[in-house]
A and B are shown apart, each in its own frame.
Chain A
Amino acid sequence: MNLAPFRDPGIAAWLIAEIHAAQKHPWVLMETCGGQTHAILRLGLDQLLPRELELVHGPGCPVCVTPAGLIDQAIALAGCPGVLLATFADMMRVPGSAGTLFEARAAGAEVHMVYSALDALALARRMPKREVVFFAIGFETTAPGSALAVARARREGIRNFSLLMAHVLVPPAMRALLQSPDNRVQGYLAAGHACAILGWEPYEALAAEFGVPIVVTGFEAADLLRGILRLVQMLEAGEARVENAYERVVRREGNTRAQAQMDGVFEVCAREWRGIGLLPDSGLQLRPEWAAWDAQRKFGDLASPSAAASECISGEILQGLKKPPACPAWGGRCTPAHPLGAPMVSGEGACAAYYTYQYIPEEEGPARHALPEGLTR
């Protein structure tokens, strides 16, 4: 795939000018995916958009929404003799109620970083005497990989492999945000990669029921700007449809093979979201016939839940109610080196995105939000 056009400065500048031309009223837009949040801050798109267009950041950071109790469980498992915990690297530094996986590893727990569930399965294959537990986190994007790994484990008769299930689904979380009395978001950029799996039909019900436009959006400069432009155009026209601005990746019905893979292994369940609470039908768990590969059924609940006192306001951050710099701890007591909460740790967390990227040259402060050079309305 040639991504050059999606990073072309000329195309981006044209889209920015179109947004400036289309926008007449103030609007609040949310990008649901943490990858989009990071791309927006890295590219500095917020500096180039009209001042009356506010971007708020959504719950789409899989590491951030994983409840502390599950991290505690992962740490407890990793400390069991003979058990090896395999995890995405992002999860290593996220604090549970009493520490991180990095700290657990330094203290002697067996924790391996992997790029995929299949890498974890390969570890199990290579070390038949060890119990390999994969910390299955993430949205629709990573869930098919977990399902595939378990299906392969069964086919190959690999019994020393299991999943610690933390998978979550995007549409139920969006529903929860829309139902909240505090919600002020008027249009949504839907997470392109999650839609690549489930398609966008689940969003049509949300758009109709709540009267909000939703645009399926990718991650490059032109992708994000097209998504924002379509949202602004629909809002100004009083329309509330679902549109796809990530055509090269997403189809209406999604990836039916991946869906079948997931349906065969997982079923929908209620799941706690860190900072947000228990959301019905928002998580995935292994179906009963796959219990042999379910770490929680295999090893039981090893961690006793404890409510850690923290000044982290990740719940408000993840629901787009507050922006990271509004948190009193942000950038001072809470930094990527000493995070108080997950959004400061993760490569998809909003607090880390602001900390890592936000910069305004002193002399250019007042001039931001102006049109890029050479463009006119």
Chain B
Amino acid sequence: MSGDKIQLGHGSGGRMMAGLIHDLFKRRFGNPFLDPLDDGALLPGLAPGERLAFATDSFVVDPIFFPGGSIGDLAVNGTVNDLCMCGSRPLWLSAGFILEEGLELADLEGIVGDMAAAAARAGVQIVTGDTKVVERGQADRLFINTSGIGVIAHQVTLGSRHLRPGDRLIVSGTLGDHGIAVLSRRRDLGFTTPLLSDTAPLHELSALLLECCGEALHALRDPTRGGLAATCHEFAQGSGVEIRLEERALPVRREVAAACELLGLDPLYLANEGKLVAAVAGEAADRALQTLRDHPLGREAALIGEVHAGKTGIVAMRSFLGAWRMVDLPAGELLPRIC
């Protein structure tokens, strides 16, 4: 490859772009669906009774490398996790890159390497892609869009409209790790933490929950932007129920609590990139919790709340003193470009 920075020619459709595709994308992502490098990938059909899940997500995180991962990890895990939350087994991803002229090639290579490793870990293939280069200043280093397809072989339908009074809410681990890890590297915040982003694929956790709970699993959601609070509001509004959380049950790392204290933030609202929230029928809650805890990504899973008929669309929390309060949605621009 010529030069050590991305130039406009890398997106021109000519020789430079062909070089980038062959020497980087095909070399790192290569698989039988991608390798012909046609305009699209030809994928196998479904078995009778199977359904498809389809999801897309764009990634603009700043900075592109942060403790515990990079925009490449997020780009794969983010869409993989969206597919998992639909109850599907993720299989194929597309990857669209918008590169800023002047981006270090070494950075792009690192990010593509992270994507390849994350795809291998999640058991998905990147089967089609696209690259555009924009003039310096028209993007910030690089943005990535991924879309993905997953297959649903079972008959359970998950969704934020399927919660019922009596359900219990389970979170698969500690809250806010990603938000604080990214914030700690923001240019002008001036604090550091040993904390790592929790970015991870949730395909094994979601499959285990489906296997263990079946119809008793009502909804899955990965609490990314807006954190647990936003997820609970989606559940409460989607199903017309009231959600009650227990503050004492929320798993939060000491470092996250300390950083929140310093910055005036609340872990309820911080982004996570490797956690899921499950709404499970009451009778299945204990075995769902145990199933999560038996997996390395779910060791700190916790029962955090209950679904009530109560007031539609409300999220409340019992404080550690035993008194009640509302959990509101964040009002506006809380932490832009967190994923």
Chain A residues packing against B (C-beta within 8 Å): 3, 7, 9, 12-13, 16, 41-45, 47-48, 93, 119, 221, 336-337, 347, 355-362, 364, 372-373
In the bound complex, do residue A45 and residue B325 qualify as a contact, i.e. CB atoms below 8 Å apart? Answer: no
The 3 closest A-B pairs by CB, nearest first: A44-B323, A359-B326, A357-B325
Picked from A47, A93, A119, A336, the residue with its CB within 8 Å of the CB of B323 is A47
Which residues of chain A come closer than 8 Å to B331, judged between CB atoms?
Answer: 336-337
In the bound complex, do residue A13 and residue B321 qualify as a contact, i.e. CB atoms below 8 Å apart? Answer: yes
Q: Does B316 contact A (CB under 8 A)?
A: yes
Picked from B188, B322, B332, the residue with its CB within 8 Å of the CB of A48 is B322
- Kindly provide the distance from the CB of B145 to the nearest chain A CB, expressed in whole angstroms: 27
Which residues of chain A come closer than 8 Å to B264, judged between CB atoms?
Answer: 347
Other A-B contacts than A45-B321, A357-B325, 5 sampled, CB-CB below 8 A, are A9-B321, A9-B322, A43-B325, A44-B321, A347-B264
- Kindly provide the distance from the CB of B232 to the nearest chain A CB, expressed in whole angstroms: 13
- Kindly provide the distance from the CB of A46 to the nearest chain B CB, expressed in whole angstroms: 8
Q: Which residue of B lies closest to A347 (CB)?
A: B264
Picked from B261, B311, B320, B324, the residue with its CB within 8 Å of the CB of A364 is B324
In the bound complex, do residue A7 and residue B320 qualify as a contact, i.e. CB atoms below 8 Å apart? Answer: yes
Q: Does B310 contact A (CB under 8 A)?
A: yes
Picked from B248, B321, B324, the residue with its CB within 8 Å of the CB of A361 is B324
- Kindly provide the distance from the CB of A199 to the nearest chain B CB, expressed in whole angstroms: 25
Prevailing SS type, chain B contact patch: loop
CA distance A231 to B91 in the complex (A): 65
| Given A119-B188, A362-B311: A372 in contact with B324 (beta carbons within 8 A) | no
- Kindly provide the distance from the CB of A53 to the nearest chain B CB, expressed in whole angstroms: 15
- Kindly provide the distance from the CB of A29 to the nearest chain B CB, expressed in whole angstroms: 17
In the bound complex, do residue A43 and residue B319 qualify as a contact, i.e. CB atoms below 8 Å apart? Answer: yes
* CB-defined A-B contacts under 8 Å, sample of 28: A9-B321, A9-B322, A12-B321, A16-B321, A42-B325, A43-B323, A43-B325, A44-B322, A44-B324, A47-B323, A48-B321, A48-B322, A48-B323, A119-B188, A221-B321, A336-B331, A337-B331, A355-B328, A356-B328, A357-B325, A358-B325, A359-B314, A359-B326, A361-B316, A362-B310, A364-B324, A372-B321, A372-B322
In the bound complex, do residue B319 and residue A361 qualify as a contact, i.e. CB atoms below 8 Å apart? Answer: no
Q: Which of B244, B320, B325 has its CB near the most chain A CB atoms (within 10 A)?
A: B325
Q: Which of A42, A47, A359, A364 has its CB near the most chain B CB atoms (within 10 A)?
A: A359
- Kindly provide the distance from the CB of A221 to the nearest chain B CB, expressed in whole angstroms: 6
| Given A119-B188, A359-B314, A361-B310: A42 in contact with B328 (beta carbons within 8 A) | no
Which residues of chain A come closer than 8 Å to B261, judged between CB atoms?
Answer: 3
Picked from B310, B324, B326, the residue with its CB within 8 Å of the CB of A356 is B326
Query: Which residues between 284 and 339 of chain B lie within 8 Å of chain A, taking CB atoms?
Result: 310-311, 314, 316, 319-326, 328, 331-332
In the bound complex, do residue B320 and residue A47 qualify as a contact, i.e. CB atoms below 8 Å apart? Answer: no
Which residues of chain B come closer than 8 Å to A12, judged between CB atoms?
Answer: 321
Which residues of chain B come closer than 8 Å to A43, judged between CB atoms?
Answer: 319, 321, 323, 325
CA distance A235 to B310 in the complex (A): 40
In the bound complex, do residue B324 and residue A360 qualify as a contact, i.e. CB atoms below 8 Å apart? Answer: yes
Which residues of chain A come closer than 8 Å to B325, judged between CB atoms?
Answer: 41-44, 357-359
Q: Which of A45, A221, A337, A361 has its CB near the most chain B CB atoms (within 10 A)?
A: A361
Q: Which of B244, B319, B323 has its CB near the most chain A CB atoms (within 10 A)?
A: B323
Picked from B188, B316, B319, the residue with its CB within 8 Å of the CB of A42 is B319
Which residues of chain B come closer than 8 Å to A373, judged between CB atoms?
Answer: 322
Q: Which residue of A lies closest to B325 (CB)?
A: A357
Which residues of chain B come closer than 8 Å to A93, judged between CB atoms?
Answer: 332
CA distance A194 to B328 in the complex (A): 28
Q: Which residue of A lies closest to B314 (CB)?
A: A359
CA distance A356 to B320 in the complex (A): 18
Which residues of chain A come closer than 8 Å to B326, judged between CB atoms?
Answer: 356-359
CA distance A7 to B319 in the complex (A): 11
Query: Which residues between 238 and 295 of chain B lie within 8 Å of chain A, taking CB atoms?
Result: 244, 248, 261, 264
Which residues of chain A come closer than 8 Å to B314, judged between CB atoms?
Answer: 359
Q: Which residue of B lies closest to A3 (CB)?
A: B261
CA distance A78 to B264 in the complex (A): 26
CA distance A373 to B244 in the complex (A): 19
Which residues of chain A come closer than 8 Å to B248, judged between CB atoms?
Answer: 9
Which residues of chain B come closer than 8 Å to A361, judged between CB atoms?
Answer: 244, 310, 316, 324
CA distance A12 to B188 in the complex (A): 37
Which residues of chain A come closer than 8 Å to B310, judged between CB atoms?
Answer: 361-362
CA distance A12 to B311 in the complex (A): 29
| Given A336-B331, A359-B325, A361-B310: A44 in contact with B316 (beta carbons within 8 A) | no
- Kindly provide the distance from the CB of A336 to the nearest chain B CB, expressed in whole angstroms: 5
Which residues of chain A come closer than 8 Å to B311, judged between CB atoms?
Answer: 362
CA distance A163 to B15 in the complex (A): 57
Which residues of chain A come closer than 8 Å to B328, judged between CB atoms?
Answer: 336, 355-357
- Kindly provide the distance from the CB of B319 to the nearest chain A CB, expressed in whole angstroms: 5
CA distance A93 to B264 in the complex (A): 18
| Given A356-B328, A361-B310, A361-B316: A45 in contact with B323 (beta carbons within 8 A) | yes
CA distance A357 to B324 in the complex (A): 8
CA distance A48 to B324 in the complex (A): 10
Q: Which residue of B lies closest to A48 (CB)?
A: B323
Which residues of chain B come closer than 8 Å to A45, judged between CB atoms?
Answer: 321, 323
